[in-house]
């Protein structure tokens, strides 16, 4: 999904390798940031928040493991070490210091891509459960992931348009939304004339989520302006 332009930060001082990485990853749905020193790498990691970090251990200004430790102080972004040193002890040290993977130069760039994808998979899985995606207000409960609306303990079945309408209002809960805005967001850019659509659907929506549709508690109307979800 969002992998379409995953940002990779390469902290690497050898320009041939950088050029090589750039040639490979551009046009493959990745964008590549380059840092040639440890200090620059640290600051770019902080400012650009990349999805993955490729870290060369042989940097000119700092020890690679120090850079790693500094990064791990504040971020859990996947870090893949690229190193010329392939000794078992080097690998173990790197992995134990907080790296997620360790490739020995010269490495196959195809394998690197596969391992980056593994790292992105991990990151995606983590981030998954973070968004609550539930809106609550009084006896009204909207679960966006499940596409479910509860009124008290009774489920209200909404059609896609009704649901969208409610979702847009929920996103701006408490604020007034003009009919034009609702039209644009629910029916699309093209429909700017059909102002009455909104009235009709607000009516249906109220019938489904208000106890007394004639005296609405949730979807309030601001005459001359628009609607507001409390």
Residues in touch with DNA (CB under 7 A): 157, 159-162, 179, 187, 194-197, 199-203, 206, 213-214, 221-226
> Which is nearer to a second copy, 23 or 173 (by Cβ)?
173
| Per-residue binder mask for a second copy (CB under 8 A), 153-172, x = binder | ------xx--x---------
Q: How far is the CB of 142 from a second copy (least distance, A)?
A: 13
Q: Which of 141, 151, 131, 122 is nearest to 210 (CA)?
A: 151
Query: Using an 8 Å Cβ cutoff, are 107 and 101 in contact?
Result: no
- Residue 193 binding a second copy, by CB under 8 A: no
Tokens describing residue 218: 């949730």
221 binds, among a second copy, DNA, none (CB under 5 to 8 A by kind): DNA
Taking the C-alpha atoms of residue 46 and residue 140, their distance in angstroms, rounded to an integer, is 40
Q: Is residue 203 classed as helix, strand or coil in its secondary structure?
A: helix
Nearest distance from C-beta of residue 223 to a second copy, angstroms: 7
Q: Diameter of the chain by CA atoms?
A: 76
Report how far residue 132's alpha carbon sits from residue 138's, in angstroms, rounded to the nearest whole number.
17
Per partner kind, with CB cut-offs from 5 to 8 A, the member of DNA, a second copy, none near residue 23 is none
Range 44-83, binding a second copy (CB under 8 A): 76
The Cα–Cα gap between 195 and 193 comes to: 6
Question: What six digits make up the tokens of 137?
Answer: 């207000």
**Interface ranges with a second copy (CB under 8 A):** 76, 88-89, 91-92, 95-96, 99-101, 108, 110-111, 113-115, 117-118, 122, 125-126, 128-129, 145-147, 159-160, 163, 174-176, 222-226, 228
């Amino acid at each position: 999904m969002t992998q379409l332009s995953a940002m990779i930060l390469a902290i690497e001082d050898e320009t041939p390798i950088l050029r090589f990485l750039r040639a490979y990853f551009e046009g493959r749905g990745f964008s590549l940031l380059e840092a040639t020193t440890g200090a620059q790498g640290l600051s770019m990691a902080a400012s650009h928040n990349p999805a993955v970090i490729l870290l060369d251990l042989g940097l000119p200004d700092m020890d690679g493991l120090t850079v790693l430790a500094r990064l791990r102080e504040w971020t859990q972004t996947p870090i893949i070490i690229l190193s010329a040193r392939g000794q078992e002890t080097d690998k173990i040290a790197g992995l134990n210091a907080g790296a997620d993977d360790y490739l020995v130069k010269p490495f196959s760039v195809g394998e690197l891509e596969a391992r980056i994808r593994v790292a992105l998979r991990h990151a995606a899985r983590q981030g998954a459960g973070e968004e609550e995606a539930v809106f609550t207000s009084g006896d009204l409960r909207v679960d966006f992931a499940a596409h479910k609306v509860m009124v008290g303990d009774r489920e209200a079945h909404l059609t896609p348009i009704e649901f969208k309408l409610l979702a847009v209002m929920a996103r701006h809960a408490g604020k007034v939304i003009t009919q034009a805005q609702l039209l644009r967001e629910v029916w699309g850019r093209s429909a700017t004339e059909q102002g009455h659509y909104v009235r009709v659907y607000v009516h249906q929506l109220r019938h489904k989520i208000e106890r007394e549709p004639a005296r609405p508690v949730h979807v309030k109307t601001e005459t001359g302006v628009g609607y507001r979800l409390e």
